[in-house]
């Protein structure tokens, strides 16, 4: 028999529902505001006042300007390369280290753990990091964006928690059949840990895609400019967006269709759209990986 809900329970549920709706609105509206601006006619958008719920005179001219900008295309290409290469190399190096770290008979295991934990809470700072990369000859190269991010001890801990739960009998059986450690890892451990690989790939890929600080500090050539860095420059300096609008005039785009603000908004949408499109395909692995990690951790 169902128990009648008290007035207090109903009030509590109502407050929860209202709070969640408000939180969802506060989370989504900034994105919706930018999307509305990117689809609005430039002149009409600047003349309108107040809160915008729908595009003002819908146009795709802002996106046309963005995609015709040569710097956008090269930055987009560099960002894709960085996210792809950075994610793959991070998964390989971090998972291999975590696999060895999960072995109880690993010599110096406590020393490695101590060193790794120190790096989670302390860093040398920007200047030492710059000097190290300079000494290694990595400055102003593509690999300065990849090599320092190949391993993250927090992700090592997550991988290790998964690997430690896999029964040793599986590895022992494979060794009896003549398999080596690398073959065991590639053909047994990796397939059994698909959820955590997908979760870490999502975390790492999003970080590489969104990061602008590394290319800002460690590169000077425009060849290595990523989309987030270009976006930051476009937002911080109105001259960058104004320059895009000026160049658009030479392409036959009417000036009343665009302005620097709507171009900035279109650039923001272009920067985040790939992640938004990719996330639904990895969401089930992401949730599963986090749940398993919380249980095993």
Average of pLDDT values for 88-109? 87
Question: Quick one: pLDDT at residue 1?
Answer: 47
Per-residue pLDDT of 106-152, as tens digits, reads 777 788 888 888 888 888 788 888 999 999 999 999 999 999 999 98
pLDDT at 167 over 60: yes
Phi, psi of 124 (to 5 degrees): -75, -20
Where on the phi/psi map is residue 140: left (φ > 0), alpha (ψ -120 to 50), or beta?
left
Domain ranges of the chain: 69-236
Of the pLDDT bands very low, low, confident and very high (cuts 50, 70, 90), residue 58 is confident
Question: Quick one: pLDDT at residue 241?
Answer: 57
pLDDT at 9 over 80: no
Question: Quick one: pLDDT at residue 297?
Answer: 45
Say if residue 142 is exposed, middle or buried (CB neighbours under 10 Å; 0-12, 13-18, 19+): middle
- Percent residues over pLDDT 70 in the chain: 82
DSSP 8-state class, residue 58: B
Q: Which of 93-102, 178-187, 283-292 has the lowest mean pLDDT?
A: 283-292
Distance CA 245, CA 20 (A): 40
The number of residues making up the chain comes to: 297
Give CA angle at 256 (251, 258), nearest 5°.
65
Entry pTM = 0.78
Of the pLDDT bands very low, low, confident and very high (cuts 50, 70, 90), residue 281 is confident
Per-residue pLDDT of 21-57, as tens digits, reads 999 999 888 888 888 888 887 767 766 666 678 877 7
User: 52 by DSSP, 3-state: which?
Assistant: coil
Of the pLDDT bands very low, low, confident and very high (cuts 50, 70, 90), residue 89 is very high
Phi, psi of 48 (to 5 degrees): -70, 155
CATH code of domain 69-236:
1.10.3720.10
């Amino acid at each position: 028999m169902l128990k009648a809900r008290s007035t207090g329970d109903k009030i509590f549920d109502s407050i929860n529902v209202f709070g969640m709706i408000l939180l969802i609105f506060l989370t989504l509206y900034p994105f919706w505001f930018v999307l509305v601006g990117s689809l609005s006619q430039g002149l009409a958008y600047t003349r309108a006042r107040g809160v915008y719920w729908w595009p003002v005179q819908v146009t795709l001219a802002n996106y046309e300007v963005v995609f015709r900008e040569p710097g956008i295309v090269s930055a987009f290409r560099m960002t894709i390369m960085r996210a792809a290469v950075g994610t793959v190399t991070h998964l390989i190096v971090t998972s291999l280290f975590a696999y060895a770290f999960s072995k109880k008979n690993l010599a110096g295991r406590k020393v490695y753990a101590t060193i790794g934990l120190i790096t989670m809470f302390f860093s040398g700072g920007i200047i030492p990091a710059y000097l190290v990369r300079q000494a290694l000859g990595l400055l102003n190269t593509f690999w300065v964006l990849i090599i320092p991010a190949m391993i993250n001890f927090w992700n090592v801990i997550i991988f290790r928690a998964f690997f430690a739960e896999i029964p040793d009998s599986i590895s022992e059986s494979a060794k009896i059949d003549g398999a080596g450690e690398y073959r065991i890892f590639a053909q047994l451990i990796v397939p059994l840990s698909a959820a955590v690989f997908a979760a870490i790939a999502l975390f790492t890929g999003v970080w590489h895609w969104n990061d602008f600080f590394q290319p800002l500090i460690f590169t000077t050539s425009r060849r290595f400019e990523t989309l987030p860095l270009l976006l930051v420059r476009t937002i911080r300096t109105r001259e960058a967006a104004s320059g895009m609008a000026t160049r658009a005039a030479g392409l036959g785009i009417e000036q009343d269709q665009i302005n620097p603000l709507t171009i900035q908004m279109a650039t923001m949408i272009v920067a985040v759209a790939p992640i938004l499109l990719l996330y639904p395909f990895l969401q089930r692995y992401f949730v599963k990986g986090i749940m398993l990690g919380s249980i095993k951790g």
